[in-house]
Structure formats: C-alpha cells, structure tokens
Amino acid sequence: MTSSQSSPLPTILLVPGAWHSPGHYSAFLSALNAAGYPTICERNPSCDTASPYTTSTESDAAAIRKLILAQLEAGHDIVLAVHSYGGCPGGAAVHGLSKQERKAAGQPGGVVGLIFICAFIAHDGQSLIGNLPDAKPVDWMILHPDGNFFPANPKAAFYADVPSPADSVAISQLRLQSATALDSPSPPPAWADAVFDGRRGYVFCTEDQAIPLAAQQAMVQNSGVEWAVRTMRAAHSPFLSDPGLLAALVAEFVRDFEGAERQGQAD
C-alpha cells in the first residue's frame, strides 16, 4: 500500500489496470502526495494470483470496497481514480458509498468523485473482454495454460511514449493477469448513479494503443451520463509518461467535485 499522512484534502484511492501493480504508479502517486493528497494503491487480487480461475471482477470489486470502507469509517473522504481494467471493479466498488448517501445515513466519510484514466466504463454485467471488438481478446493478449493473460508486446500496448529505461522497468514489473477476471461480468456500476452527477471525470489519452481514443470516447458517450473530460497527448500510461500533468488534472477534477459539493449544500 502507498499512503501519506492525513490531510483535509480527500484521499485518492487508485485502482490499477490489469497486469499492473502499485509500483507502476509511484511517480504519479508521489506527485499527488507533493500536492497534499494522501494516496492509496493496492494490486487487484486477480493480478499475480495463484488461483486465476477463482477470481473475478466481482471479487476485485469486493477487495477495493473493503479498502474504501476502512478509510470512510475512519472519517476520510475518498476520490476514486481508476486506470484501464480498474474501471470495471472500481466502478462497482463504490455503490452506495457516495458522500451524499453516507451523510444521509449518518455515517462518516464518503466518496466525493470518480476519475477514469483511459479506463473501461463497464455496464452492469459487462466484462472487459465484452468491451473489446467482437467481444474477444485482442491479438496481444496471450493466454497461458495456467489461465492467465500476459501482453505479447507491452512496449507497444502500454508504454509507447515512455522513455528508456523507465519503459523497461515498467515491463519488468508486469505480472500475470487472471483471464477469468477479465471475462467475468461487472457488478452494477456506481458511476451510473445520480449521486455522482457533477462528480465524474474522464482523462482521454489520445495516443493510447491499448484502448484507442475512439473507444474511450464511445464508452463515455454510451454511458448515458455526463462526464467532465480532460485530454492528454499520451499513450496508455500517462502516469509514467507525464505523471506531473496527470496529477494536476486529477487535482482539477477534485476542485470541480468540491464545487459540486458546495453547490449541493447551497441547494
């Protein structure tokens, strides 16, 4: 877990993408910490697991929810940030945990906003693979006999704009990813709930080769809800290619969420 001291600012809880671990996001998390934001990031249970056939998007969501609840019960507010596959379990993990719902129930803390970073927006029952063309794994997702996927060319898929040696370090940190999890249905997503109106942000990455820009835009458009959007000229890993800018965009979203909170109180 990556964390920092308590602060009046909300804690940014980051959900990694498939194959990725907290170490991949360390520069981005450090930039957020430098701006005063506490951060938390843990590997999803479906990544680097000894039991790939028994994990799922739902079990990842349950683990994320447990992390979030521990922070909320301690009185901390959370902004949930998700990358890539992290949008599938992360989008579901915060169901019923918004600041508005927690306050109405007399409970401490709450989730004040959602930030998707070139991430999958999965509808109820939809899997990551179901979001891909023809609902099939793409060519670079190689299925191993043990039930795990691994990317055939991670430099091209994830790190096309990440300079050396950071790209090699990132590749060395990748771990096997449960195929079952990527092909399992997502639970009902919280991003669809009206309590998150004015509290949804999406970072488009224009050079993304894993989730092309057109696919990112289509997911936002087909979500049926409104998102505030920021755009980066980046491939699939802006947390490595430009962590400072990504942290600044996250801070912008958080300020927008705080404005929505003040407006809600005024109403």
Three-state helix/strand/coil letters over 189-204: CHHHCHHHCCCEEEEE
What pLDDT does residue 141 have? 96
pLDDT tier at 6, thresholds 50, 70, 90: very low
**Cβ atoms of 47 and 177 closer than 8 Å:** yes
Identify the three-state secondary structure at position 160: coil
Reported pTM = 0.94
Both tokens of 227, joined, read 């998102």
Q: Residue 30 to residues 40, 135, 172: CA-CA distances in angstroms?
A: 11, 36, 20
pLDDT score at 64: 98
**Could you give the strand order of the β-sheet that contains 177-178, starting from the edge strand earlier in sequence?**
141-143, 148-151, 177-178
The pLDDT of residue 3 is: 46
Q: What is the predicted pLDDT for the residue at 131?
A: 86
Contact residues for 9 (Cβ-Cβ < 8 A; gap 6+)? 36, 37, 38, 254
If you count them, how many residues does the chain have? 267
pLDDT tens digits for 86-130? 999 999 999 999 999 999 999 999 999 999 999 999 999 999 999
pLDDT of residue 262: 62
CA-based Rg of the chain, rounded to a whole angstrom?
A: 17
Answer yes or no: are the C-beta atoms of 102 and 114 closer than 8 Å.
no
d(CA 31, CA 243): 7
Residue 183 has pLDDT above 90, yes or no: yes
The answer on pLDDT for 186 being more than 90 is yes
Query: What is the average pLDDT across 123-138?
Result: 92
pLDDT > 90 fraction of the chain, expressed in percent and rounded: 91
Average per-residue pLDDT for the chain: 94
pLDDT at 265 over 70: no
Q: What is the mean pLDDT of residues 28-46?
A: 98
pLDDT reported for residue 258: 85
Q: Do the beta carbons of residue 234 and residue 161 sit within 8 Å?
A: yes
Q: What is the pLDDT of residue 4?
A: 43
- As a whole number of angstroms, the distance between CA 238 and CA 261 comes to 28
